Structure 1
């Protein structure tokens, strides 16, 4: 969390046990270890839902991800010309977002996204719905809450240790109707252990550090005075 980044007030497990394990993998991405590779991610909202952006709920969680909203006079034609000059779709998207929001900085955003990633991973493991509600769009939060409910009904607990975030790379960026969508690939080292009500290990190994890759999309309306970025989609690499 570097200084100088603007703060905003928002800113993922067998019959039942196996189901929870699969859901954990869906939330937290692809693990490299002895477990099976997850299938299609049910936690990724549709494109239509992504376009809704932030849900606008009150938040008291602070994570530094730069971006301030105000109409700076940039026209749609200005944005189109900037995109036409860019060499790649990623650079086009980043350029348009910077024009729409003069305070946006991709390096600062990536650093802030690390903080959001850590908070979401830990909150999911702890069943901290309040923190998740402040960080996630409605559809994503609903899926996380359902997974937590099912885990709790089974009398199970999840212990997650986020050892290290090795990488937080912006891989996609897009501006749609002045809503910015920024997708980050996280590569982290985690220890995940699922236990039953008696404390017996159902899944995982407390001595095994897993390499985990997650792809998350954050969104924010650049015309809004609300500086919050919201997690609107998660997926595993294909």
Structure 2
């Protein structure tokens, strides 16, 4: 199961050769990573992907995303720190499985335990947003390896989403001020983290709706929000 903005569940064996316009955003990404990593492929699927990939002209569309990814992997303190801790847990993330692609859904990225990390080039405005998204997905990778996250368990899902939004920097107060103004200054960080976690859990196919998502996030909030591993503390 992958962690993303829609958090849909797919199995690697469920590869499709449907045309791209018939695929959901997540399905296109999952299939793209499967082709690039060689997981579960047959000759027909490989030929189908090569045709679709050329038709979408992805190399040109994703160029700035790839450049931003490579820059972050070399220079971003947060990304380098998280990559190091993922490696220490036995993870193997690198430029071959941290991929830029075009996503149909309005999301910044996703993480799949077997296929790696997706960066949605058509929704990333600049390299600093890319840094936040990549850091977010690296927290998911760390949690998967460290805590054996099971996304069919909504508490697990809520916890990793709380931690990813908290530790990635995407909810830093400066960003929230630009979005919502100076009101409720002291609660902006927590409000952002909670909002993002609820929306993600709500999209889990095992969640009945907004009320359950809110209830699950509230249940695990205190312990997960206060867990800053592998960081010593969080700068907001």
TM bracket, shorter-chain basis:
under 0.3
More helix by share: 2
TM-score, normalised with respect to structure 1: 0.24
TM-score, normalised with respect to structure 2: 0.24
